[in-house]
Amino acid sequence: MTVRVPAKVNLQLGVGPLRDDGYHDLVNVFHAVSLFDEVTAEPAGRLEVRVEAALDARVDVGGVPADDDNLAARAARLVAARLGVEPRVALRIRKAIPVAGGMAGGSADAAAALVACARLWDDPGEPALDRDDLVELGAEIGSDVPFAVLGGTAVGVGRGERLTSALTRGTFHWVFATAGFGLSTPAVYAECDRLRELRGEPAPQPSVSEELMTALATGDAKGLGAALTNDLEEAALSLRPSLGRVLDAGRELGAIGALVSGSGPTCAFLAGTEEDADGLARALDGAGVAAQVHRASGPVPGATVV
């Protein structure tokens, strides 16, 4: 059973106060884009994980765990426990989503494993697990996993795991510039808290941007570009100032919107048209400001059996 699953970009990431459980209240507008990993689940004598780069994909999978530390393995165990079976499965993960880039590649793989293992082990005539059940299981793994199951465009609140689909018209065209280094998500959140405390600035309670929702509902790329926001961007730039040069380069080369994706370090650029995105990707690649440059469009569906 093979499942294809997309990367995500955060169109809005509003970070609220730090909660007693160590998480922050979030408003997270997720948008699934056409960079895909594939996870194949096959019967095996025990749980196994193999990770490789997808054909023609320029991704380095050397740092991706190929054991129980991989979120896909945890997903397989959760499905097995819910269905009352042993997690005897070989998971083959083929990656094209940038690794450690703030595009939720690990969460995407977990979502794909949820869907693949449910199809592999569940009763096809009377399945015990539907998509809502898989979304619920995904929330036990991580805040980004439920969205990777669903895809499209959605607003996440709480830790980001409580999702509502967002009306989106048309197709938006993206260019992603990856870095040659990673950024720790906990470190970026901690830096966000530190910078706010340094300024004596209380963390606001985040709310969904009306301008962003209107741009999505009307298919207005220029309006969407103007409404992109990420409360973690300042912290990511504080930890890695070189990302500022990447954002500046993208804007100078014609992007109509630019932001750090999630906790970084990937920078996301919105283009007006497909042709504009092609030109921007070539120009960014030639400028030498990024380790790699990727083209994508969105929204696209979530984890899908292929």
Identify whether the C-beta of residue 32 lies closer than 8 Å to the C-beta of residue 171.
no
122: annotated active-site residue: no
CA-based nearest residue to 108, from 296, 265, 304, 286: 304
Whether the Cβ atoms of residue 135 and residue 146 lie closer than 8 Å to each other = yes
Give the active site residue among 25, 109, 144, 231: 144
Of 295, 304, 298, the residue nearest 38 (C-alpha): 304
* Cβ atoms of residues 281 and 292 within 8 Å: no
- Residue 176 and residue 261 in contact, taking contact as beta carbons nearer than 8 Å: yes
Helices then strands (H, E): number in the chain?
10, 12
Backbone dihedral region for residue 9 (phi beyond 0: left; psi -120 to 50: alpha; all else: beta): beta
278 is catalytic: no
Active site residues: 8, 144
